[in-house]
Chain A
Amino acid sequence: MKLTRKYEFVDEAEANEAIDLLRDEEGNLTQSVVKLGYLTIEPPVIDEEGNTIKEAVVSTKYAVDVSWSITPLESWNNAMVFPTPMGIHSFGSSSQRDEYAKAYCELKPDSEYCNPPEITEE
């Protein structure tokens, strides 16, 4: 089964250096790579006339997702991150989604995502 893993790099150039390790001898990618770029952390605030009231807050890190069909390269490990598996980019595979959520909870067993609050009966 393929694995979804998420990475953050200093900039696109550093990401490209890592991505180049995934190319074959003809320069073509051997893994599915999605360059998400500098992700928006907080969206901008726009008024009804379309004027920007508050600029968006954008991540300073360059995000890349990989769908690995091989064991993930160790050289990528330093850049690996595990954002909470809600409202994030995914490869359209339910099995990969579930595997990522499981890996997230193994890494962050005390997180709220992995310990949803008990629902009190109304």
Chain B
Amino acid sequence: MSFYDDASLVFLPSGGAGKDTKAYSIKPTNGDGDFTFSRGSNLTATRVDSNGLIEKGRENLLLQSNQFDTTWTTSSASVTSGQGGYDGSTDAWLLEATGTSSTRVQQTISTDSVQTISVYAKKGTSDYFQIRLTGASTAFAFFDLANGTLGTLSNQVDASITSVGSGWYRCSLTRVGAATSARIYVTGNNTTSVTSGDNIYIQDAQLEQGLVATEYIESGATTGKAGILEDSPRFDYSGGASCPSLLLEPSRTNIVPISEGIPEDTIQVTLTENYGTSPEGVQNSLKVQKNGVSASDRIFPIDNYNATLVSGTSYSVSAFVKNIDVDGITTIGCRLGSGGTLFRLGYQWSGSSLTKATEYSAGTRTNEILEDYGNRWWRIGFSFEADNTQGGIELDIDRDNGSATTSIETYGWQLEEGSYPTSYIPNHSGGSVTREAEENTTANISSVIGQQEGTFFLDFEFLDGATAENQNWIALESEDGQSRVLFYKSASSNNLRLLNSQDGSTFFNKSSLIAISPNTRYKVAVRYSSGDQGVAVNGSMSGNNGTSTYTRTSLLSRVKFNESNIQPSCRVHQAIVFESGLTDSELETLTS
């Protein structure tokens, strides 16, 4: 038999088919079996894309990003559309001084913390222009468009000018702090002095959170968005997978106020922002060089005791690191407040390779991670139980060689409440941010779900095997939840369980299908036919079959990945529904 031909609903995330709010099933082909997906977070959810790079949600916070006569206002300047652009279009604008000072186009904004503004520019009669973000601490950068070099800078974290050909440059300015307006000035030279009639060409302005200008997103009356949107299903290629799985994670909060590039504090290190290419594939890693003072030359993504913790609660700390020239041990640690414990784990560098070390490790740790993110990047970290209400994060560059002046690159610091680390949650806000839990549910599709007989197959892996949490309640169920074909893990054990009920009465259940291990793939299938039930796990029938009979009045009507509002924590590879009950042999084949 062909399982695909016989199935009435087939959900294969390996196809990566979906869009904002939707994860498509490949069967039924009319779209009735498509899932409605929701999360509600567009700037904190990430996935690993098909290139092995971390993909974020991105947003151009400017309105009318290439319509400089709308929303934008001018001061002693004019803007004229229809100019030849960097992209071969005629979408560029001429920005020309009509006065001798403050000659600019500007837009009122309201941003906070780490932000980068960028614009494409080309010299006109003037060689220079300036980008300025005003606020309590105004930052600006002058750019020399004749020579492609930076001019005078002030209050910036970073600035850059990059040639894109034909005399055009993409120019950017990065700053930290609240900003109230974004301004582009035509200037006569490396100061604000200008002559009426001086002009330059500009195109495609962008303001975004983060340390670096990313690919341009057009905006109009609303901000422009790209990447992982608020309700985008995450088809994830973590671990070098050739096919994606649907990543479903519980709500988590990254407590690190700025998770890239700007640690809260340092001891005896020299920092270089936007040094190299991060796991995101853009140039926003932080180089940290020891000053060679002691083994404790370090950065604090969260300064000593600045994080508010709950004693007795589990937390997970993680960071991305890449070696430059360390020949020793990098450590990641959480130092808890007065009387609290130092939790720390060491990692031994051997060139670009990294292994866990026993030296310098401290405190009781669980779920230690060492994940290869490619391009010599590693994600490191662990989980621990807090024994104090205050804590911080420290990353020691090389505890083996105190007097060395060696360096690493780092990126993506995270401290989250939870007994295991979840996917990276970027944060540029200066506060903490929460990635909300994910939901994935079909509409009412009772017509393609067998009621008196049928089969439900799942191919998935748990992200956690914790015993104290309800996890991954995935079900075929009725709208009122009274009829269920439910795979689940309860808070009382780490066993995968099965529950079949109709109209509130259980007729076939298994409380111990298999002991769950995290990041391990399980294939389970249940035949729930009246008078004939059976379940297979990973190619073998599990325990005794059932013979209960029932008449279903509360119809199974949907597939739901967060049954009973239990937040999912898994990767889904396949979910298949059959309107008929497969035989034991077929169940074993299907789950092999």
Contact = CB atoms under 8 A, between A and B. Distances in A.
A38 B470 CA distance: 27
Given A89-B432, A91-B436, A40 B390 contact: yes
A44 B304 contact: yes
Interface stretch (B305-313, B395-403, B457-465): B305-313
A28 B564 contact: yes
Interface in A49-68: 50, 52, 56, 58, 65, 67
A58 B308 CA distance: 9
Interface string A61-93: 000010101000000000000000111111111
A91 B305 contact: no
Interface string A21-34: 00010101110101
B436 A67 contact: yes
A87 B44 contact: no
Contact of B564 (A24, A44, A95): A24
Contacts of B310: 35, 37
Contacts of A30: 565
B369 interface: no
A93 B303 contact: no
Contacts of B42: 92-95
B538 interface: no
B308 A34 contact: no
B223 interface: yes
Contact of A92 (B101, B425, B430): B425
Contacts of A91: 40-41, 44, 433-434, 436
A73 B430 CA distance: 29
A44 B336 CA distance: 12
Contact of A86 (B112, B225, B435): B112
Interface in B414-472: 425, 429-437, 470
B257 A87 contact: yes
A13 interface: no
B192 interface: yes
Contacts of A88: 429, 431
Contacts, number: 125
Nearest to A116: B180
B422 to A, nearest CB: 13
Given A92-B41, A94-B223, A32 B180 contact: no
Nearest to B435: A92
B434 A24 contact: no
Nearest to A90: B433
B166 interface: no
Given A36-B308, A46-B303, A92-B41, 9 more contacts: A34-B253, A58-B389, A88-B431, A89-B432, A90-B433, A92-B57, A92-B434, A94-B59, A119-B135
B45 interface: yes
Contacts of A106: none
Contacts of A17: none
A43 interface: yes
B323 interface: no
B391 to A, nearest CB: 11
Interface in A1-19: 2
Given A52-B338, A86-B178, A101-B110, A92 B436 contact: yes
Interface of A: 2, 24, 26, 28-30, 32, 34-40, 43-44, 46, 48, 50, 52, 56, 58, 65, 67, 69, 85-96, 101, 116, 119, 121-122
B40 A2 contact: yes
B46 to A, nearest CB: 10
Contacts of B102: 121
Interface in B305-359: 305-306, 308, 310, 335, 337-338
B113 interface: yes
Interface of B: 40-45, 57, 59, 101-102, 110, 112-113, 134-135, 138, 178, 180-181, 192, 223, 225, 230, 251, 253, 257, 267, 303-306, 308, 310, 335, 337-338, 389-390, 425, 429-437, 470, 564-566
Contacts of A44: 304-306, 337, 390
Given A38-B308, A40-B390, A94-B43, A32 B138 contact: no
A69 B135 CA distance: 34
A93 B232 CA distance: 12
Contacts of A92: 41-45, 57, 425, 433-436
Contacts of B267: 48
A115 to B, nearest CB: 10
Nearest to B178: A86
B429 A90 contact: yes
A39 B435 CA distance: 20
6 contacts: A26-B565, A28-B565, A36-B432, A67-B436, A88-B431, A90-B433
Contacts of B306: 40, 43-44, 56
A52 B41 contact: no
A85 B257 CA distance: 14
Q: 9 closest Cβ contacts across the A-B interface?
A: A92-B44, A92-B41, A87-B430, A28-B565, A116-B180, A119-B134, A88-B431, A46-B304, A89-B432
Contacts of A69: 40
Nearest to A40: B308
B57 to A, nearest CB: 8
A32 B257 contact: no
Nearest to B265: A46
B402 to A, nearest CB: 15
A96 B434 contact: no
Contact of A119 (B181, B251, B337, B432): B181
A116 B134 CA distance: 10
Given A46-B304, A87-B112, A89-B434, A95 B230 contact: yes
A42 to B, nearest CB: 10
Given A29-B565, A96-B40, A87 B431 contact: yes
